[in-house]
Amino acid sequence: MAATKAQKKSSASSESNWARLVREATKDRKQFEPYVFDAYDPPVLITPPTGLERQLMLARLSDEAGSVEPDDLPEMLAALVGEAAFAKVWDALRDQPLDVTLALIEDINRHFNKGADGGAEEFPGGDSAS
């Protein structure tokens, strides 16, 4: 049985249920520019921690006040900057004082939270009081 033009058009333009769910769930989500970690040339682009895996790791590692145990700092940093950027970021930080790491984390959070409505609900550990 031959398909009609309407059936062909409908099947060619239909989206999967998964694609529809993703589109609808993310339609109002703010898009963020990557954080530019310029310790290298070319710089390392750090994407926001919006994926489920990174969000869950950040939530697991921080307490209600957003604090992280010192032993968990490398794992928290990996969740914050993402797997693709972590090796370079860690290599730049590993011999620096802790204050440098904390300053970088604060700068990354400030970068991604600056455009979030309310801030803290967008990223675990984010601070809406700024």
pLDDT, tens digit, for every residue of 43-93?
999 999 999 999 999 999 988 887 889 899 999 999 999 999 999 999 999
> What CA–CA distance (Å, rounded) separates 26 from 52?
13
What's the average model confidence in pLDDT over 35-47? 98
- Whether the bond into 49 is cis, omega within 30 of 0: no
Task: Check pLDDT > 60 for residue 125.
Answer: no
Give, for 46, the enclosing helix (H) or strand (E): strand 44-46
> What CA–CA distance (Å, rounded) separates 35 from 33?
7
User: Residue type at 62?
Assistant: S
* Confidence category of residue 121, pLDDT binned at 50, 70, 90: very low
Evaluated on CA atoms 46, 47, 50, 52, the torsion sign reads negative
Evaluated on CA atoms 102, 78, 52, 49, the torsion sign reads positive
Query: pTM to 2 decimals?
Result: 0.73
> Would you state the pLDDT for residue 32?
92
Contact 90, 77 (CB under 8 A): yes
